[in-house]
Amino acid sequence: MHVSRRALVRAISGVSVLAVVGLAAAVWFVYEPEIAPIARPDKASFDEAVVKRGEQLATVGDCIVCHTADGGKPFAGSRPLPTPFGTLYSGNITPDEATGIGHWSETAFDRAMKQGVARDGSNLYPALPYEHFTHVTDDDLHAVYAFLMTREAVSLTAPANKLIPGLGFRPLLAGWKLLFLHETSVQPDPSQNAEWNRGKYLVEGLAHCGGCHTPRNVAGGEELGSEFEGGVAEGWVAPALTARNPSASTWTQASLFNYLKTGSDENHSAAAGPMAAVTEGLSRLNDPDVKAISVYIAYKMHEGEPSVISDPSTIDNATQAANENSVGAHLFQGACAGCHGIGAPMADQARASLSTVTDLKLNDPTNAAMAILQGVSAPSGKGPYMPPFAGNLTDKEIVELLAYVRSRFTASPAWTKLESSVTSARREAQAQ
């Protein structure tokens, strides 16, 4: 095809005009003004009852989990958060004026929580889960603000983020938000009761359960239409909280309440990995709100159908599994049976049998490998715990153990690609 030089020039200048207009539009969209600093509000100006309510809401939002470094002061930030795009450091959200949010007006705070924009106008990374916090009511945000502004002020500046090249440029985030941030409020469902709707409001908003349990696309946005179908968090798999959850015994509203409030359930094992911090927070939340969350999640898991309660699984193919894999059986006897074997004392302490553990039923062996490498801390600091085995077992031994526990405690097909899963789980565990 022949293209005249004039036509080519016209086409190119057309494209550049479009590019200039596009750039101008982008700059206009990206630009967020600074919100003027205020004098730090007097603690006494906040109503005590509101502060108390804010404390409970901040607990639901896990603010303390992400905004406290290991061994650091609460809410002072600097906790490293590994993401597929590099490491981010959380900010200082104590009311320190120089390094925290002491100078932030409530308007500035609300904008950060709902639109992911800092007081100075720069865009924030969605590691602060504003995709969910955007659904929180102004009244509730007011209470969280009151709670934070009445904490101890701590002077601490977070280290610079370590992101893959290019992504450190914050204006890019405006484009991300255009695609993935939906600033809507949670619509109550009039066909459901108040408790269910309270659960929905908390789960979709402050509790941001979907932040881990919903799969994300390559750009790190939550996939629309796949809500709660299972995601990843800090090297662990966050299992589906829908009918696709593979648990061997049914999750009921009561077992969910128990798991969320205490960190373990007799028929479902303990919350390990990043879920442990979530349940630690929920253990401090009032019972009616934890119950509301469990009502809503139970509904999601059974798609509104009344759940058919299956008995807790009691699969234990000990003999057959040992015949198939004597190396794994031997390792299990030495390292695990004292706690997970038949008649082990732990069974009398309301601890689940490995036959009920979702980790062994998932198609992906990652969580079981992570549990062996990192251990499982005692839920709420009480009762038996599992020590980390990263320093005691080689990758080869963990592969044998995983093959063995899968065949002994489940009726699911053998895991494939065990070697590579264990290698990458160890890499993740070491990076933390």
Closer to ligand HEC by Cβ: residue 245 or 253: 245
336 annotated to bind ligand: yes
**Is 66 labeled as ligand-binding?**
yes
Residue 29 CB, nearest approach to ligand HEC (Å): 18
302 is annotated as contributing to ligand binding: no
Q: Is 182 annotated among the ligand-binding residues?
A: no
132 assigned binding-site residue: no
What minimum distance in Å lies between the beta carbon of 45 and ligand HEC?
19
- Kindly state the smallest distance separating residue 416's Cβ from ligand HEC, in Å: 18
CB of 191 to ligand HEC, least distance (A): 22
CB nearer to ligand HEC: pick between 264 and 325 = 264
Least Å from the CB of residue 134 to ligand HEC:
12
CB of 22 to ligand HEC, least distance (A): 25
268 assigned binding-site residue: no
Residue 167 beta carbon to ligand HEC: minimum distance, rounded to whole angstroms: 11
Nearer to ligand HEC, 200 or 340 (CB): 340
Closer CB to ligand HEC, 30 or 112, in the complex = 112
Query: Is 135 annotated as contributing to ligand binding?
Result: no
What tokens were used for 46? Answer: 């906040």
Angle at 233 between CA 401 and CA 145, to 5 degrees: 145
Spell out the residues 6+ positions from residue 254 whose beta carbon is closer than 8 angstroms to its own: 294
Instruction: Establish whether 330 is an annotated binding residue.
Output: no
Given the complex with ligand HEC, which of 26 and 390 has the nearer CB atom?
A: 390
CB closer to ligand HEC, 65 vs 322: 65
Binding residues for heme c: 63, 66-67, 209, 212-213, 336, 339-340
